Each structure stands twice: as structure tokens, then as C-alpha cells.
Amino acid sequence: MSMAPKSSTIEEEKCVQEYFDDNVRGWERMYDEQAFDTYNLFDSHTVIKRKEYVLQLLDESKESRWRRVLDIGCGPGIYMVDLLQRGMDVWGVDVAPKMIEQAISTAKDMGLQSRVHFSVASVENLPFPDEYFDVIICIGVLEYLSKDDLALKEIYRVLKPRGIAIITIWNHLSLGTFTDLYSLIKVVGKKTYRLVFPLNSSDMKKQNEQEFRKSYNVRRFDNLLQTHGLRKVNFISHRFGPIAINRKAIFSDATNIKITEKIEKISKIRWVPLLRELGTMYIMRVEKTSKK
């Protein structure tokens, strides 16, 4: 008898939800180039670049038959306009109610409410019928779950046959990992990391989001995708660095951006295949295969 995949614990989901409920404005500012001086420049650079690459991977396989896209962990609706511009109606879900409130309010302000549908829900229990979406994006979300099986099962279920999904994860064997004790312990596994650095609610309140974000062995994740009927067809990795010692970056954000951009350029050269795998941010386009 096969066992049902385990979901995240309610306590963990609550921590994540509270953290993001408290950070709606902060998350929007991450994408606001005018607010760079007030925010972490390197992290802003990372998410802005990530968005560029997500849309690039999406456009590479664009099909005229696409009608519906689901943005899982949509936050305050960061991708809404770009997805609408691609001719699809947009559904967005998020566990954080305040994120959804903001997404709805932005859609109203822009007069887009007839083509967007936002609701509070978890990736582990999507309130949609089977085979409903042509496209799913799940950006910056899986790293907050304790296990991925239920989420991938749900993504597979609501995706149409031949549908595609863009999924991101944090690669634990990236260039920045090896100088940083915290990252190295995370490589061993989230359980070990939790033993050394137990999760407590004051970490959440200190906005210490890294504390409850996990990173992945990319090869293992590929295999996990396969077991859920999802096949990786292309990927882009980026964010090379920052080089840090015990979570303290050695260089300034501006220097880190220059370094990561240089390495990123080199990583795109075909004959440097290994470098391509060493970005921290790993963005995949996956296809629903016909058989599980």
C-alpha cells in the first residue's frame, strides 16, 4: 500500500504565513529599483533577474493554445501583469492572506480584476479541478515547505497534459556555499541544520527568513520531479555568491552584483558546463509527462 505524501506541519506553515504577512510591502520593494537604497541590493538584484529568467523560459515554449496560468505563492501579484501580457487569464494563490489582499487591491487599481483570480490556498492543497491549467509558475515557494511531494503531486494534478511549469529552488551546491558554515550545514540536510540551529518564532520576528528556507541537491530534485511525472526540459541558474563567512558577506552588494554578472556571462558559454550548475538560484522549465 502506498503512503500518502506528508504535508508541511501546521506550525511550519503558520510561521511562513506570518513572516510573509508581515512583509508584503518589503517584498514589493524588492522589485522596486527606486527603493534600492533602502533595501538589500544584492537580494533585489537576485529577484529581478530571476523574474527576467522565468519569463524567458516561459516564452521559449510559448504556445497559442495557452489560456490559463496559475501563479503559486504569488505574493502581492508580482508576475500578474507579465502573465496577462502573454494572453492568459491569471489565477494566483498564496498562504499569506495579506499578500492576497495586496494582489487583489493592485489588480483593482489597475482595472484588471476581470482577468485575475486571487485566493488564499496552499500549494499542498490547490482548490482547482484536475488538468485545469496550461501553465503553472511556482517561484520562490518550495524552499519553505518541509517536504515537496504533496506540492509536486498537486502541481501535476492541476496541470493539463503537455502543460508546463516553471519552478525555482535554491541550489545548495553553489559557489557561495563552501565558505559559509551555515550553508554547509544546510547541505547536510534540513534536519541536521534544525538540530544545530533550532527554529524559533523570534527568528521569524527578526525577519530571519534564511532560517526557514531550505536548499536542494539539484540532481535529487530532478529525480523527485520524475517520480511525480514532471520532466525538466531546460534550466537557468544565477546568483553566484555572495562569498560569505558565517553569513557575513565579504564584499559590498555593488561588488557582489558585478561578480555575479561576470560569472553569469561566463556560465552561459556552452563549453563551461559545470559553472552553469553552480548558481544559487535554480530555475527550471518542466513538462508534464503522459505517464507517472
Cα 192-197-198 angle, rounded to 5 deg? 95
Residues in a beta bridge with 137: 71, 166
Nearest to ligand SAM by Cβ — which residue?
73
User: Are the CB atoms for 182 and 170 separated by under 8 Å?
Assistant: no
- Decide whether 49 or 172 has the Cβ nearer to ligand SAM: 49
| Residue type (1 letter), 140 | G
User: Which chain residues interact with ligand SAM by CB under 6 A?
Assistant: 13, 16, 20, 72-75, 78, 93-96, 99, 122-124, 139-141, 144-145
The Cα–Cα gap between 265 and 170 comes to 20
Strands 116-120 and 89-94: parallel
From the CB of 160, what's the least distance to ligand SAM, in Å? 21
The Cα–Cα gap between 68 and 159 comes to 10
From the CB of 272, what's the least distance to ligand SAM, in Å? 28
From the CB of 57, what's the least distance to ligand SAM, in Å? 14
From the CB of 71, what's the least distance to ligand SAM, in Å? 7
- Decide whether 144 or 216 has the Cβ nearer to ligand SAM: 144
From the CB of 268, what's the least distance to ligand SAM, in Å? 22
From the CB of 84, what's the least distance to ligand SAM, in Å? 16
Q: Residue 217, Cβ neighbours under 10 Å: how many?
A: 15
User: Are the CB atoms for 55 and 135 separated by under 8 Å?
Assistant: no
The Cα–Cα gap between 150 and 5 comes to 5
For 289, half-sphere exposure in the C-beta direction (CA atoms, 13 angstrom radius) is 11
